[in-house]
A and B are shown apart, each in its own frame.
Chain A
């Protein structure tokens, strides 16, 4: 049926027509190569650093010119997807964490192990390697990774005589955590003692709370073959872990945080959030600020990982140059410049060692250790990720409003599994 051929016709049409029409001068002159780079428009500081890095790189070489386009973060995935569909991807571009696998599966990216130096590959954080690998190859590397934990005020904890965990292995058990909440609430005017960033939306729910499931022995999807969520996302362990969270909300322990100032203003003593809040929290609480691992729901404390990562488009005509640019960005100095700007965990071991924040004695060394020791769990490495996160977010919306947790997770499982079946299990056709 001709309909079957439609995508192929469209694709070949695009690949054939597009270099002739369209606007990008991808056809390089013999003496000047233009490399198109897309990056997300993140914080002010990040963008300035990247801009500066690009300029420095351009000055280094008179053969290659990098052309950078910033895409607004909120719509980044939609724009990349649209470009991918049109066969219009730039040479080098960032991907937002686990949305990467969809593009790999759609065969838009090229493997990197052969174009990046061995030394660099060995220097990468295990979490970065885990994030960027799919099938038998490595498709992306991240300049930085993320850290997730529990910020706390030392003074408040000392007042209730709570134990202060030193590492992830030492994390509070869920019972201990509940007790801490109870005791803190007893001394608090409005009972709200915990901030879990309910004012955030979207990907935060999956990033911030799937470790909860994982710590309880459940997960978003079974990780053997990534074929089914049913029985994993809605297992009894998952349901009871999520119900813990519901209980906290129901008992009034959780601050709605609309002004995003619950922790900084001192309304709450605990804040469940990532590395990006460190600077703001530190400025307010200074020495009183503690960085703790997430509580252990039974199978050990778990935490999240993953952030923006760089990949090379399969159709790029300048893949060698692209690889060299990525290599440049991954040099320890460059990594540290970027991490100074956005406060994230450096993506290479050598950079971590030199980092004031994340090095051995640094205040955020916990985050780096979690990433290096396997305490962090990558979000599901499957092209079904957009569906998984959408469904989990929908379920979470209901759960946080007091809905039936089991039912919400059941619905999510059903939708996710149906998507996987619809796509024949996402077979990886190389």
Chain B
């Protein structure tokens, strides 16, 4: 693809390196290097600030975390959270995008409203939602649910109830994140050529058929992108857990990142936290590769 003989190959390569060098250098020094260090540390017993000599411990950190109830619960919770949030958030985002895409007045206002939570820092969102989930009949959510169910709702302490804590956090995350996905899907929606719909109408397709046969396939790439990013972010869940539930009750909401940060800064066990993040990275990498493989496979079939 090189142009007609103007640039010899290695000059092109040198130029490319010049273009890419600052970013690659930054990534190398500030992301890759610390991560590699993390991997190395996961084989030791490094403790924050300990005057004791560092020791090599082989795989014992890994052994320990995989026999730790809290860590196993964290893995399970991360998976559950991703399974709940990714489809729900994507589905809701699609719904919102479809609604806001109507050629009606005031859509820009609605669009801004739905995107607004994205602008909030997660820590602030968590603090506000603590109030929303306030226990007792005076709690906001409890009140709303009581009104909707015409009085048959029992007031619950969502954040301290093992069954409701993770759904509560999921709701908070969905609230905060759906606006971003909506914008992506909306943009993709607006990129679909009208002629496709016209042609379908001429062929006699009803609204549902149009949706399934035109809209969804055209949105395919956008949806894949959104699902991929949301999955990665779902596994990084940390802020809300730290502020709202501190991993409880009974490990119902602890996550891998939460366990890792607490190990490092709460219990000062850096090496253990390093092992957790290595496991985290591996899992997410596998899932990401899997998702890409599946999506590529489907594309081939089409």
Give the B-binding residues of A (Cβ under 8 A): 1, 3-4, 6-7, 78, 81, 84-85, 102, 105-107, 201, 256, 258, 386-387, 390-391, 393-394, 397-398, 400-401, 403, 411, 415, 418-419, 422-424, 427, 429
Contacts and interface: CB of A to CB of B under 8 A. Distances in A.
Contacts of A1: 56
Contacts of A398: 248-250
Interface stretch (B44-52, B104-112, B286-294): B44-52
B162 A4 contact: no
Contacts of A78: 265
A397 B54 contact: no
Contact of A386 (B44, B69, B136, B267): B267
Q: How large is the interface on B (under 10, 10 to 19, 20 to 34, 35 or more residues)?
A: 35 or more
B250 A403 contact: yes
B51 A106 contact: yes
B48 A3 contact: no
A229 B99 CA distance: 59
A401 B49 contact: no
B262 interface: yes
Interface of B: 40, 44-56, 64, 69-70, 134-136, 157, 160-162, 246-250, 262, 265-269
B39 to A, nearest CB: 13
Nearest to A3: B54
A85 to B, nearest CB: 5
Contact of A106 (B50, B69, B135, B160): B50
Nearest to B40: A3
Contact of A107 (B48, B51, B53, B250): B51
Contacts of B262: 390
Given A3-B56, A4-B55, 16 more contacts: A3-B40, A3-B54, A7-B46, A81-B48, A81-B49, A84-B49, A106-B50, A256-B135, A258-B135, A391-B267, A394-B248, A397-B249, A403-B250, A411-B69, A422-B269, A423-B52
A260 B255 CA distance: 29
Contact of B47 (A3, A201, A422, A427): A422
Contact of B44 (A3, A105, A393): A3
A386 B268 CA distance: 8
Nearest to A7: B54
17 contacts: A3-B40, A4-B53, A7-B46, A105-B51, A106-B49, A107-B51, A201-B246, A256-B135, A387-B267, A390-B266, A397-B247, A397-B248, A401-B250, A411-B69, A415-B267, A419-B269, A427-B52
Contacts of A6: 54
Contacts of B51: 105-107, 429
Contacts of A401: 160-162, 248-250
B248 A419 contact: no
Contacts of B56: 1, 3
Nearest to B135: A256
